[in-house]
Amino acid sequence: MPNFSLSDEVFAKAAAEFPTPFHLYDEGGIRRTARALNKAFSWCENFKEYFAVKALPNPAILRILKEEGCGVDCSSSTELMLADACGFHGADIMFSANAMPAEELAQARSLDAFINLDDITHIEKLRTHGGVPECICCRYNPGGDFTIGTTIMGNPGEAKYGFTYPQLEEGLAELKRLGAKTFGLHAFLSSNTIDNAYYPTLAELLFETGRKLMDKVGMKLAFVNLSGGVGIPYRPEQSAPDIAAIGEGVRKAYEKVFTQNGISGVAIKTELGRYMTGPNGWLVTHATSYKETYKHYIGLDACAANLMRPAMYGAYHHITVVGKRNAPCDHVYDVTGCLCENNDKFAIDRPLPKIDMGDIVVIHDTGAHGFSMGYNYNGRLRSAEILYREDGSYQMIRRAETPQDYFATLDIDPCAKKLGV
């Protein structure tokens, strides 16, 4: 079930104060989510969540999560810069990227971040650009299909990420020779999974693999990073994962593989993004046009530049109309943006209440991979980001782009002055 924690009044007041479209984030919801996660894994003394910056790269959000005890998972130079500017340093940063540029490895090492290597060939690159740290993490790809019971949850054999098991043995032996004393193990095998069994199943796989590698390579396993993958219920018929049950499932796997075999002190880390902020964000828009041809179309003042997921993946996002939440959904619309692409649709053949021009239309669950996946096709500009504070006030935490922002990198062109740059 999509998140209905905010009333229509909250959206209406925000739309009266700020021009639409904009993304609205709920501070209280984000904090509650972080606290529930930390409570679910409180049995592990060294548990830490590393929020996936790619999901929502806004300093105001990162500072909130920092206050809740989270670190950050970064995948680029600019994300590292953002983390540094927000006060994350050392063990508060996990740097994970594929096809890692050497200079970004050096940058991450300069911040004393955890390095999560994606490829055995990156070992030499790391050696010559920052050096091998005492604790190093490697990303594991077990290949084949990842299953829970009889259900295929992912297909890691087709993914571009990670070491094979033989590469892990070889790579860790080389890292040990180069000075590493302990290691972490990471894997990401499924995305947006609402099955409570995902993390416990992944955890047992990584725990067993880590124990085997300890024996084989003679290095201590410092931590297991369960990465992301815990999802959210975008559709009304779906239920949210139970994070308390998930934490308990991981604890049982820990007991089985580690505690019962005399192994202690292995920390647990996660890199959740969507789960942390996804349900706590909404794209607030106005209906600006109605068209009737072979279908009925409602045009919004937002487009795929503001929320790409429906156009890119055919992803479902729930839509409500302010003041009509309980009205019958007796009209069927395609809800569209204004890009010159036919896939610029937020919904296709969606039953909704009658939408009138000027209605506030709210697209749910946009708090992760919403603004951050935005782009400027057709010269469309990305929207503002607004934080709904716990005290009921609103704070703009990113202004909307202007034409000058769009033209800024044309300052080398003869027409720059006419463009205002």
**Measured distance CA(387)–CA(402) in Å, rounded:** 20
Q: Which of 55-64, 130-139, 142-151, 189-198 has the lowest mean pLDDT?
A: 142-151
Single out the residue in 235, 250, 276 at which a domain terminates: 276
In a domain, 3, yes or no: no
Of residues 159 and 336, the one with the higher pLDDT is 336
> In a 3-state reduction of DSSP, which class is residue 238?
coil
In a domain, 87, yes or no: yes
List pLDDT tens digits, range 79-122. Answer: 999 999 999 999 999 999 888 889 999 999 999 999 999 999 99
pLDDT at position 158 over 80: no
Question: Helix 198-217 to helix 165-177 angle, to the nearest 10 degrees?
Answer: 50
What's the burial of 241, exposed, middle or buried (CB within 10 Å: 0-12/13-18/19+)? buried
pLDDT at res. 161: 85
Mean pLDDT score, 328-334: 98
Backbone angles phi, psi at 55, to 5 degrees: -70, -40
Are the beta carbons of 80 and 95 closer than 8 angstroms?
A: yes
Alpha-helical regions (H) of 243-343: 243-257, 274-277, 309-313
Q: Are 65 and 182 in the same domain?
A: yes
In a domain, 5, yes or no: no
DSSP for 96-109, please give it. E-SS--HHHHHHHH
Under 8 Å CB-to-CB from 282, ≥6 apart: which residues?
6, 11, 23, 24, 362, 363, 364, 365, 366, 367
**Measured distance CA(56)–CA(372) in Å, rounded:** 6
Q: Are 55 and 42 in the same domain?
A: yes
Q: Are 80 and 222 in the same domain?
A: yes
Q: Are 165 and 235 in the same domain?
A: yes
Are the beta carbons of 106 and 122 closer than 8 angstroms?
A: no
Single out the residue in 250, 276, 302 at which a domain terminates: 276
Mean pLDDT score, 228-242: 96
pTM of the prediction? 0.95
Which residues are registered as beta bridge partners of 24?
282, 386
CA-based end-to-end distance of the chain: 46
**Measured distance CA(219)–CA(232) in Å, rounded:** 37
Q: Are 151 and 204 in the same domain?
A: yes
List pLDDT tens digits, range 1-45. Answer: 788 899 999 999 999 999 999 999 999 999 999 999 999 999 999
Say how many residues make up the chain.
421
In a domain, 416, yes or no: no
List pLDDT tens digits, range 237-281. Answer: 999 999 999 999 999 999 999 999 999 999 999 999 999 999 999
What's the burial of 40, exposed, middle or buried (CB within 10 Å: 0-12/13-18/19+)? buried
Q: Are 54 and 131 in the same domain?
A: yes
pLDDT at res. 148: 64
Q: Are 329 and 204 in the same domain?
A: no
Mean pLDDT score, 70-76: 97
Give the mean pLDDT of the chain.
Answer: 95
Q: Which two tokens stand for residue 273?
A: 């993004």
Residue among 263, 255, 154, 157 at smallest CA distance from 202: 154
Q: Are 163 and 308 in the same domain?
A: no
Domain at 74, CATH number: 3.20.20.10
List pLDDT tens digits, range 10-19. Answer: 999 999 999 9
In a domain, 75, yes or no: yes
State the total domains in the chain. Answer: 2
pLDDT at position 229 over 70: yes
Which residues are registered as beta bridge partners of 296?
292
pLDDT at position 150 over 50: no
Q: Are 321 and 389 in the same domain?
A: yes
In a domain, 6, yes or no: no
Under 8 Å CB-to-CB from 16, ≥6 apart: which residues?
none
Are the beta carbons of 200 and 249 closer than 8 angstroms?
A: yes
Single out the residue in 230, 259, 276 at which a domain terminates: 276
**Measured distance CA(327)–CA(300) in Å, rounded:** 20
Q: Are 236 and 98 in the same domain?
A: yes
Beta strands in 256-330 (DSSP E): 267-270, 281-292, 296-300, 319-321
List pLDDT tens digits, range 381-413. Answer: 999 999 999 999 999 999 999 999 999 999 999
State which residues form the domain around 65.
27-276
Are the beta carbons of 47 and 84 closer than 8 angstroms?
A: no
Residue among 166, 199, 377 at smallest CA distance from 272: 199
Q: Are 129 and 192 in the same domain?
A: yes
Model confidence band, residue 53 (pLDDT cutoffs 50, 70, 90): very high
pLDDT at position 159 over 90: no
In a domain, 245, yes or no: yes
Question: Helix 243-257 to helix 198-217 angle, to the nearest 10 degrees?
Answer: 30
Model confidence band, residue 160 (pLDDT cutoffs 50, 70, 90): confident
In a domain, 32, yes or no: yes
pLDDT at res. 1: 77
Q: Are 287 and 182 in the same domain?
A: no
Are the beta carbons of 149 and 179 closer than 8 angstroms?
A: no
pLDDT at res. 154: 64
Mean pLDDT score, 128-140: 97
Domain at 342, CATH number: 2.40.37.10
> In a 3-state reduction of DSSP, which class is residue 350?
strand
pLDDT at res. 271: 98
pLDDT at res. 409: 95
Q: Which of 140-144, 217-221, 388-392 has the lowest mean pLDDT?
A: 140-144
Model confidence band, residue 205 (pLDDT cutoffs 50, 70, 90): very high
